[in-house]
Amino acid sequence: MSCMLPTLTKKIEVDSIIRDTLDEVLVLRFGRATETLCLQLDHILSKAAREVSKFATVALVDVDSEDIQVYIKYFDITLIPSTVFFFNAHHMKMDYGTADHTKWVGSFYTKQDFIDVVETIFRGAMKGKLIVKCPLPPERIPKYQILYKDV
């Protein structure tokens, strides 16, 4: 599934895709193409990428790459797969009802869930909102716990 979408392994690639995606939602999936959950998410992303292509770009980022580590640290990615959304090089937050509003952790249940999330982010961004509420019911949002260091 990962072959259907561009996979980024260098920081400069990630930089340029964040900078060059204008007036569209950029979906960056941080993960590993060998993990089962990642594969599941990639499958959903690759199916939905075409359907959201008018207002979103989807790209995969390989967390094992050396060059990417700076982003892993910067985005506080501790669990994979994690999905981060950008709009005009601005990070978009979403209130999922989980501890972390900055990224979607885990896979989506269905393709439509992903499309709904991306669409809500796009609509919010077009209205100037940096944070939006997740349109999905809580039972469709994967639960996880973050252990904060130094807190």
Nearest residue (CB) to another protein, 3 versus 146: 146
Q: Is 74 in the site for another protein (CB under 8 A)?
A: yes
Rounded to whole angstroms, what are the CA distances from 96 to 49, 75, 79, 131, 132? 22, 17, 16, 10, 9
Contact string (CB under 8 A) for another protein, positions 32-71, x = contact: --------------------------------------xx
116 vs 132: CA distance, rounded Å:
12
Long-range contacts, 133-140 (Cβ 8 Å, 24+):
133/94, 133/95, 134/94, 134/95, 134/96, 134/97, 136/96, 138/97, 140/108, 140/109, 140/113
Which stretch, 30-38, 53-61, 86-94, 107-115, contacts another protein (CB under 8 A)? 86-94
Contact string (CB under 8 A) for another protein, positions 105-134, x = contact: --------------------xxxxxx----
Binding site residues, another protein, CB under 8 A:
11-12, 15, 18-20, 22-23, 70-71, 73-76, 86-93, 99-102, 125-130, 146, 148, 151
